[in-house]
Chains A and B, each alone.
Chain A
Amino acid sequence: MEGSSTIARKTWELENNILTVNTPDSASDNIFYYDDTSQSKFQQEKPWETDPHYFKRVKISALALLKMVVHARSGGTIEIMGLMQGKTDGDAIIVMDAFALPVEGTETRVNAQADAYEYMVEYSQTNKLAGRLENVVGWYHSHPGYGCWLSGIDVSTQRLNQQHQEPFLAVVIDPTRTVSAGKVEIGAFRTYSEGYKPPDEPVSEYQTIPLNKIEDFGVHCKQYYSLDITYFKSSLDSHFLDLLWNKYWVNIFSSSPLLGNGDYVAGQISDLAEKLEQAENHLAHSRFGGIVPLHRKKEDESQVLTKITRDSSKITVEQVHGLMSQVIKDVLFNSVRQSNKSPTDSLDSEPLITS
């Protein structure tokens, strides 16, 4: 049984060009070693001052990711924030651990961290005593339901941090979308200094932004760049995670993402409806405008419509996946009958969705 599932997984990974990180052995656990001398040497050299695009990659440990996601989800619809500890390694920032800060509502003021300085200092000190030698290398906060990007306040906060506490990284997590989509929504960013014009970079992965935040997103999206995120885990961690799967598989049947995220989906749909209405008004106005060259107007409209279509497909795909799970569970558990009773109709339905 174990064999065929590994074969299935490997086939899937091959088809999708997934770069499988080699199963960590004890040699690769070396990433956990904190070398004080090389870290302080790096601090003194400060290579990031000459190149604003210096750090390109982020490596997050399994533990840090789990802690951040659980903390973000526990906040519900309130933004939470915390700090990350780790070290640097060439052009990569390595995040080994994360901890929460007792601060709330971080989207309302710059440097909400100031409230928690005392906590931060005490926590770092106690940690060093207990053997966790890494320094703070960044902060994370959550955007429940509205995507992974830096708002205006976030950009100012991060700029401040990058002036005084280099090397520093900003990470944003969206716990609502994580649960809804079934994959972790996370982004890592660093800001440029004011006035720096970045060279045109390739457009990062598209994500839906709700209407009330889209202005904030658009104004600031050129002032920071995102870094690639990879994950790592120790050999003991992967051993545990494999074993955990033996207990976890039940959850696939016992939980339903559709039920948990009903509010969020309803919000998404109404947001989409507003966007459509806006696009329609735009279209109506342009018909009588006339002075603006026709081609450019058409481009804007078609772009807006394409975005809306992409958003709607994304929402629908998630819902259809949830529905598929429900149907499968129904077939598995409800269409069983005792052999002495005559078989009654089970729910026979094949979703005909192909999008």
Chain B
Amino acid sequence: MTNAGKNSREKTMAPSSSSGLTFKLHPLVMLNISDHFTRVKTQLNPPASSCSTGNVPSNADAVFLQNPRVYGCVIGLQKGRTVEIFNSFELIFDPIADNLDRSFVEKKQELYKKVFPDFYILGWYSTGCDATKSDMHIHKALMDINESPIYVLLNPAINHAQKDLPVTIYESEFHVIDGIPQPIFVHTSYTIETVEAERISVDHVAHLKPSDGGSAATQLTAHLTGIHSAIKMLNSRIRVLYQYLAAMHKGDISCENSLLRQVSSLLRSLPAAVSKKFHDDFLMEYNDKLLMSYLAMLTNCASNMNEMVDKFNVAYERNSRRGGRTAFM
């Protein structure tokens, strides 16, 4: 990165936002962006089997082909101070002329309004490592659709050592730089929001669970394995906290009071629910499930008995067609 690039980067970003909005991101958006990127990348680099007319691209082109930048819009809802990003769609952007295809945006918006009448355009997305100065142009262009759009940046580089999602959300704020109020990007935090159905399908594709029922034992194993891995995660997180606190106690790390307060409030919130009402409801639900399994067992028994009686009758049949006792095998 050249010096000029670095400077422009510094001018366009600030570490944290102060707008007080909470952002919730749905995994569908991430998969959408990743799919868009993969498609564009594979179309630009056709697989070796199909014949491609082409001279060997020069170095700069090769880099571009490896990681093309894609652009799109994100749509969702804003309720009060919570912004929830549900879905996204692609945009046509002309990097040379540096402008957005407005009619396309409007057409797409209309189409999505028909199916999801509650959603509206919240901002836009792109792929890359960092926000650049040119991104501000697009951001400003979108400001007339939504007065304070958000910019979702996705880093498509696969880095296996990374534990965090390579998605960052930026808002724009006016800061005074060199005496002129200029909009710059500020980092905001977000959480992943999901509905049960989304979680199940993500789980399904991520871990390729068996698609058919399997035996009861398989289902049980699958269910318990899921819970087991979740508990493992919880355990590892608690360990990290514990080691951190131990280090603080020994004096290796300086005491951070806000963190200590958070940990203390966390511990004080356990046990999570111990009222009498909870106890009663819990036992009632428990008894309901036991009743259900009892009924199922009864049905099972009745059906087995029925089968046994049938087999008995067949084996010891008195009224055979030949009239008289038949020798049974």
Whose C-beta in chain A lies nearest to the C-beta of B307? Answer: A302
CB pair B230–A253 under 8 Å, yes or no, is yes
A129 touches B104 (CB 8 A): yes
CB distance from B297 to the nearest CB of A (A): 7
**Per-residue 0/1 for B214-241: is the Cβ within 8 Å of any A Cβ (1 yes, 0 no)?**
1010111111111111111111100000
A12 and B225 contact, CB distance less than 8 A = yes
A126–B108 contact, CB under 8 A?
A: yes
Q: Are A122 and B107 in contact (CB under 8 A)?
A: yes
Most interface-central of B202, B231, B310 (chain A CB within 10 A)? B202
**Docked complex Cα distance between A69 and B224 (Å):** 24
A24: shortest Cβ distance to chain B, in Å?
10
- Kindly specify which of B77-85, B129-137, B205-213 makes contact with the partner chain: B205-213
Kindly state whether residue A1 has any CB partner on chain B within 8 Å: yes
Most buried by B among A234, A242, A260: A234
- Residue of chain A at shortest CB distance from B165: A243
Considering only residues 1-48 of chain A, those with a C-beta below 8 Å from chain B are 1, 4-5, 8-9, 12, 15-16, 18, 20-21, 27, 29-30, 32-35, 38
Q: Give Cα A352 to B195, complex, Å.
A: 31
A336 adjacent to B163 (CB under 8 Å): no
Number of interface residues of B (CB under 8 A): 105
The contact of A100 among B115, B207, B236, by CB within 8 Å, is: B115
Which chain A residues lie closer than 8 Å to B32 at the CB level? 63
- In the assembled complex, the Cα of A127 lies from the Cα of B107 at a distance in Å of 11
Among A66, A100, A315, point to the contact of B31 (Cβ < 8 A). A66
B22: CB under 8 A from chain A? no
Q: Is B56 an interface residue (CB 8 A)?
A: no
Q: Is A214 among interface residues, defined by CB-CB distance under 8 A? A: no
A320 at the interface (CB under 8 A from B): yes
Query: In the complex, which residue of chain B has the Cβ closest to the Cβ of A37?
Result: B50
Answer whether A305 and B306 are a contact pair too, CB < 8 Å, given A241-B202, A243-B165, A245-B206. yes
Q: What residues on A are CB-neighbors of B225 within 8 Å?
A: 8-9, 12
Query: By the criterion CB–CB under 8 Å, are B216 and A355 in contact?
Result: yes
Chain A 301-344 interface 0/1 with B at a Cβ cutoff of 8 Å (1 = within)? 11001101100111111011111111110101111110000000
CB contacts under 8 Å to A, within B27-50, are 27-28, 30-32, 34-43, 46-47, 49-50
Kindly identify, within residues 270 to 329 of chain B, every residue whose CB is under 8 Å from any CB belonging to chain A. 270-274, 279, 282, 285-286, 289, 292-293, 295-297, 299-300, 302-303, 306-307, 310, 313-314
Task: Please tell me if the beta carbons of A5 and B38 are within 8 angstroms of each other in the complex.
Answer: no
Q: How far is the CA of A298 from the CA of B292 in the complex (A)?
A: 28
Query: CB < 8 Å: which of A63, A183, A243 contacts B164?
Result: A243
Which A residues are in CB contact (< 8 Å) with B210? Answer: 16, 18
Q: A62-B31, A302-B307 are in contact. Are A248 and B208 (CB under 8 A)?
A: no
Interface presence of A252 (CB below 8 A): yes
Within 8 A of B (CB), among A281-314: 295, 298, 301-302, 305-306, 308-309, 312-314
- Residues in B whose Cβ lies below 8 Å from that of A219: none
* 10 A-B residue pairs with CB within 8 Å: A8-B229, A16-B221, A66-B202, A178-B201, A183-B204, A205-B213, A239-B158, A255-B199, A316-B293, A317-B219
Interface residues of B (CB under 8 A from A): 27-28, 30-32, 34-43, 46-47, 49-50, 89-92, 104, 107-108, 111, 114-116, 156, 158, 160, 162-166, 191-192, 194-214, 216, 218-236, 270-274, 279, 282, 285-286, 289, 292-293, 295-297, 299-300, 302-303, 306-307, 310, 313-314
